[in-house]
Structure 1
Amino acid sequence: MSFTEYTAPFAEYPVLQQRVLTVLKQLPEDVQADFLSDERFRVEIDNYVPGVGWSFLMPAPGIDGNGSRCVILRSKLADASEAFAHYVIAHEFAHAFLRNGGWGEITDIEQAADALAASWGFERPA
């Protein structure tokens, strides 16, 4: 599977670009296929400017009411430990996969994203 579209925004941050690619490649095939088949799924670099804010183009909600599945990652993940960066990236991908909802019996969206990321092999570092 080609993830070029999802890693291209990180060209100026090669360490982060590789980390995003590493996580994408380790996701289960059904998750990869889900992301690749949904035009609302995107991965972008945080472009916050103090005093100005952010600028992102996000797809409008679809007919089914689901909104954008855009994952925004901060460039400082390139400087974080590899384990922590992988965890954060996987956690954010879990939110996108779950469409910011629960997972199984876990209704808290943060706990759900943590649990799903852990099931993919990306546990929160101690």
Structure 2
Amino acid sequence: MSFTEYIAPFVEFPVLQQRVLHVLEQLPEDVQTDFLSDERFQVELDNYVPGVGWSFLMPAPGIGGNGSRCVILRSKLADLPEAFAHYVIAHEFAHAFLRNGGWGDITDIEEAADALAASWGFERPARA
């Protein structure tokens, strides 16, 4: 599967680009297929400017009001410990896969994203 489109925004941050690619490649095939087949799924670099805000083009809501599945990642993920960065990236992809909803019996969206990311092999590292 080709994830070129999803890692392109990180060309100026090669460490982050490799980390995003690593996580994408480790996701289950059904998740990869879901992302690749949905034009509303995208991955972007955070471009926040203090006093100005953000600027992103997001696809309009789909049928049934399903909104964009845009994952925004900060460049500082390149500077964090690798395991933690992988966890954060997987956690954000989990939100996109779950469409910011629950997972199974887990209704809290943050707990759901953590649990799904862990099921993919990206558990939140213990604090040092």
TM normalised by structure 1 equals 0.99
Q: Partner of 2:54 in structure 1?
A: 54
* Structure 2 Cα separation of the partners of residues 83 and 66 of structure 1: 31
Q: Report the AA paired with residue 99 of structure 1.
A: R
**Structure 1: segments with no counterpart, 5+ residues:** none
Q: Supply the distance in 2 between the matched residues of 1:29 and 1:63 (Cα, whole angstroms).
A: 24
2:103 — aligned with what? 103
Identity %: 90
2:72 paired with 1:80: no
TM-score by length of 2: 0.98
Task: Tell me the distance in 1 between the aligned counterparts of 2:59 and 2:78.
Answer: 27
Secondary structure, in 3 states, of the residue corresponding to 2:65? coil
SS across alignment from 1:64: helix
Tell me the equivalent position of 2:18: 18
Counterpart in the other structure of 1:41 = 41
Unpaired runs of at least 5, structure 2: none
3-state SS of paired residue (1:72): strand
Spell out, residue by residue over 1:73-109, the C-alpha distance to the aligned partner (whole angstroms, 9 max, x if none). 0000000000000000000000000000000000000
Code of the aligned partner of 1:105: D
The count of residues paired between Structure 1 and Structure 2 equals: 126
Shift in Å, 1:63: 1.4
Query: In structure 1, what residue type is equivalent to 2:116?
Result: L
Q: Which ranges of 4 or more aligned residues in structure 1 deviate by more than 4 Å?
A: none
> RMSD value over aligned CA atoms?
0.3
Aligned-pair distance for 1:65? 1.1
Shift of 1:29: 0.1
